[in-house]
Amino acid sequence: MIMSEGSMAVVKPEMKSYIWLQTTDGSIQQVEEEVAMFCPMICREVLQTGTGSSKNYAIKLPQRVNPAILGVILDYCRFHQVPGRSNKERKTFDEKFVRLDTKQLCELTSAADSLQLRPLVDLTSRALARMIEGKTPEEIRETFHLPDDLTEEEKLEPLRNMTDDPRIRLLNRLYARKRKELKEREKLKVNVEVEEESVDERSVDDLLSFINGGDEDSKGVRAPKSKKKNRRRKDQTGDSSSNNGDGSHKKDIDSPHTACQNGSVDDVSGPSKTSKFQDSASTTFPSKSDFDDGDIDDELDPAMKEELDREVEDFARRLNSVWPERMQEIPSLGQERRVLPVSVNGNGSLERYT
Amino acid sequence: MASSSKPPNQLPDEDRLSNLPDSLICHILSFLPTKCAVITSALSTKWRYQWTSVANLVFCDKFTVNYSSDLFENFVDRVLMLRKRSNIDSFTLACINTHDPPRVNTWITAAAMFGVRELRLSSAMRGVVLPHNVFYSRALVALTLGPGIVLDVIPTSACLPSLKVLHLEVVEFRNVDTTWKLFNACPVLEDLVIRRETTDNAKCFNVCAPALKRLTMKMYDESRPDEYWRTPVAAPDISDYTCVIDCPTLEHLDITDYTSVSYAASDMPLIVKAEIDTPQQGEATAALLRPIADVKLLTISDATLRKNGDLIDLPTFSNLTKLELRLLDDFSDWTWLLDMLRRTPVLQGLVIDSGCVSRDIIHDTCQEREPSCLLSHLETFELRQFKRGEDEMELLRYILRSAKVLKEMTIESWDIEKATKVLEELLGLPRCSRACRVVFS
């Protein structure tokens, strides 16, 4: 066990002092004093309670320290407690030291934390952080074997699932998607009606031009600038380069009249600024097409509307069932939360949660 | 969403990461840029709100795909709104794109309001004016302002009672009195780094900091060509910049200044280390060097020590034990070096960085009386960037001849062949000190 420099070699074994450590499984180890004292927790125990001087009075280590990981930690201490090492040497050692798998790294972080060995905690935490950085949630889950227990809608836009309005937006998106599908079905039947459509949305454009050969239909699609202006009006910053979805989001909420009460929904959606948040992670989210459809839903016949509403209601109920637990998890989410909790009543209307 | 497939008889891998105590998870997340920390909210139920406890916020708007300024701005807004903790330890904002100035201003204001201790700001978009409440921040310990930040009106009652570290990298000083007002507000400032690249309105750069220990000033002038001082007629004094350094407790001074024409500096009795590069400033440099005459380690260039060929009026450096000289200029003999060495009576170590220029040295000019340091103190001599020029050989011969207590002469050279030849030659030279070793690296 003597790993010391040349000068120490002449010291007789019985002259060296040892500290006795006991791990939770009952096993007791004896460790060179200067190595063990490198851990603040052990140091404190020795100085304050006088334990550790013999096998019978071994220092009881915290539960998170098992014998194997203790060995690793002691290797670390053994290297770093030698005063003469250069910074470069220490750095090189550290870099090699943290080449461990995730399981060991986590154990090591936990154990080092319970021994209050701050430099090692920082070293392993940084290593873990490096393993998280730059990865997608799926990749991180794979690396660390995390359970995949979030619902699909919660995973849809990771960066946005921080408040509760995404649920509402999700609802609306579902509306819009459904509406679009129904509309397209209609359009396939009746070409003439297309000219009256106000959609100047690209994906719908593409779809129509593909179907209709891109002649008068596409023109019809491009024509209604007025609708576009409506949307812009709602857009607070007036930034025309941002997604079309901004203002139309508000319109979207207003449109399914039978299903929502305007007042509460407005509260829920917050300022139209929040709608931009949704658009931001647009890589995963087909934003544009959905919102524009909000303009034309009054052209759907009531039957289809009903069908839509029923679907949305189902979905909302599903969401709502998870809602109460969620509420308990978040005692306070920041100081300026403007989103008020919402529940969906039995009749399908959204009301403020009380 | 599958986790990695395992052989059927193995136990499922345990999720050890989520079982770490919250404080540790928070600690791990604090090493991530905020974007990555927030992504963890999509990992699993336990992770949904872990990121909200992180006290370090790092925002960088470098996007590789799908960039829009809204994206970034909204993200910052939301993070600030949704955090669980009401204090921010460190806040870093690095923008390479244009953003809505009022919003950027709001973020910085919010950070200051939340008691930020370390604030780092930089913006490729010029003209981000620092909001006022930053100047009243009681918690701020370190402030780094990068390019693009503007210091405009600083309130007279500004007070940063905890600020110890201040880095100003190419910050615009809009008013004449900006500098002294700023430093006046920092009573405990210990570390100051300033880098200026344009000539702005701060004609008199006034560093008045009673507790300052380390000062680094790099002042360049965009309008002057590099190494302008090499031209035979020194560049006309187009600038009228002055610099006042009133830091009585200063220990470390590092100045590279191509703009100021005059200096006023208080005495610095505690000075330990200095690096000075103020080429061809003549009397101005002398005025700078006099207050630091007690320095122990000095790094200086020959262009700084000379003006139009002559050594400037130097004080005696009675404590100087190590001198590092950078040779950038042309000269015809080493007399100026000997003159310099006469002012360093207790010099133990001399390092000469020969630079890239080869000079024509007239042989055997070093006939004068040797400086006393060579006789009694010089123990180590190092020559860097050795090119085996005649100037260098002359110097080496002289040193070997004169330094009585020289223990080690180190010559750094990339060319091994040349080095071996020189080594042979040197070993054959008459040597004053018996114990001297000649080392090549």
pLDDT 10s digits, A36-76: 888 888 888 888 888 878 888 888 888 888 888 888 999 99
Is A137 at the interface with chain B, CB within 8 A? yes
User: Does the beta carbon of B380 lie under 8 angstroms from any beta carbon of chain A?
Assistant: no
B39 vs A107, A158, A336: nearest CB:
A158
Rounded to the nearest angstrom, the minimum Cα separation between A113 and chain B is 8
Q: Which residues of A touch B15 (CB under 8 A)?
A: 144-147
Inter-chain residue contact B42 with A333, CB threshold 8 Å: no
CB contact under 8 A, B1 and A134: no
Q: Does B48 touch chain A (CB under 8 A)?
A: yes
CB A152 within 8 A of CB A315: no
Does residue B24 belong to the interface with chain A, where contact is any CB pair within 8 Å? yes
Cα distance between residue B20 and residue A107, in whole Å: 9
Nearest by CB to residue A140, choosing from B43, B84, B100, is B43
Which of A179-199 are b and which e, b meaning 16 or more Cβ less than 10 Å from the residue's Cβ? bbebbeeebeeeeeebeebbb
User: Chain A partners of B67 at a C-beta cutoff of 8 Å?
Assistant: none
B370–chain A nearest CA distance, Å: 39
Of the candidates B28, B78, B80, which has its C-beta nearest A128's C-beta?
B28
Q: How far is B50 from chain A (nearest CA, A)?
A: 11
Answer for the pair B269, B249: CB distance below 8 angstroms, yes or no: no
Chain B CB contacts of A333 below 8 Å: 49, 52, 82, 84
CA dist., res. A32 & res. A317, Å (int): 63
Token pair 């509760």: residue? A164
Chain B positions in Cβ-Cβ contact with residue A273 (cut-off 8 Å):
74, 77
CA distance A172 to A156: 14
Contact map slice: A 108-127 vs B, CB within 8 A:
109-110, 113, 121, 125-126
Residues 6+ apart with CB under 8 A from A22: A28, A29, A58, A59, A60, A61
Q: Which residues of chain A have pLDDT under 70?
A: 1-15, 152-176, 178-179, 189-309, 311-354
Set of chain B residues whose Cβ sits within 8 Å of the Cβ of A110: 16, 20-21, 24
Task: List, in sequence order, the alpha helices (H) in A151-201.
Answer: 152-156, 165-189
Q: Do A158 and B41 touch (CB under 8 A)?
A: yes
Extract the runs of DSSP E, i.e. beta strands, from B305-364: 306-307, 310-311, 322-326, 349-353
Quote the pLDDT of residue A257.
39
Q: Of B363, B429, B427, which is closest to residue B392 (Cα–Cα)?
A: B363
Q: Which amino acid is at A285?
A: F
Distance from CA of A227 to the nearest CA of B (A): 23
Return left, alpha or beta for A145; rule: phi > 0 is left, psi -120 to 50 is alpha, else beta.
left
Question: How close is the nearest chain B Cα to the Cα of A241, in Å?
Answer: 9
Partner residue facing B42 (CB), from A161, A242, A334: A161
CA atoms of B185 and B155, how far apart (whole Å): 9
Q: B38–A159: do the CB atoms touch at under 8 Å?
A: yes
Which residues in chain B touch residue A159, judged by CB atoms under 8 angstroms apart? 38-39, 42, 75
Distances (CA, A) of B439 to B44, B425, B426, B428, B436: 62, 13, 11, 14, 10
For B80, the closest chain A residue by CA position comes to: A334
| CB burial of residue A137 (10 Å; 0-12, 13-18, 19+) | buried
CB–CB of A337 and B41 under 8 A?
no
Interface of A with B in 27-86 (CB under 8 A): none
Contacts of A244 in chain B (CB under 8 A): none
CA distance to partner chain B, nearest, from residue A240 (Å): 11
When CB atoms are compared, the residue of A126, A146, A161 closest to B18 is A146
Q: Which amino acid is at B39?
A: I
Closest CA to B390 of B402, B382, B400, B398: B398
Q: List Cβ neighbours of A10 (8 Å cut-off, separation of 6 or more).
A: none
pLDDT of amino acid B434: 60
> Is A238 within 8 Å of chain B by CB?
no
> Which residue in chain B is spatially nearest to A238 when comparing CA positions?
B70
Q: What's the predicted TM-score (pTM) here?
A: 0.66
Instruction: Classify A124 as helix, strand or coil.
Output: helix
Minimal C-alpha gap between A303 and chain B (Å): 37
Q: How far is the alpha carbon of A117 from chain B, nearest alpha carbon, in Å? A: 13
Q: How far from A163 is each of A136, A176, A268, A341, A342, CA to CA, in Å?
A: 20, 21, 11, 10, 12
Question: Chain B residue with minimal CA distance to A332?
Answer: B84
10 Å CB burial of residue A328 (0-12, 13-18, 19+) is exposed
CB contact under 8 A, B49 and A136: no
Per-residue pLDDT of chain B (441 residues; tens, 9 = 90+): 444 444 444 455 677 888 888 889 999 999 998 888 888 888 888 888 888 889 899 998 876 556 677 778 888 888 888 887 778 899 999 888 888 888 888 899 999 989 999 999 988 877 788 888 899 999 999 999 988 888 888 888 899 999 999 999 988 888 878 888 899 899 999 999 999 876 677 778 888 999 999 999 998 876 666 665 555 444 444 567 888 899 999 999 999 988 778 888 888 999 999 999 888 777 888 888 999 999 999 999 888 888 777 788 888 888 999 999 988 777 777 788 888 888 888 888 888 887 766 666 655 555 566 777 777 788 888 888 777 777 777 787 788 777 778 888 888 777 777 767 777 777 777 666 666 666 666
Would you state the pLDDT for residue B118?
Answer: 94
Task: Check A333 against B82: CB less than 8 A apart.
Answer: yes
Name chain A contacts of B74, Cβ cutoff 8 Å.
273, 276-277, 280
Residue ranges covered by each domain of chain B? 190-304, 316-441
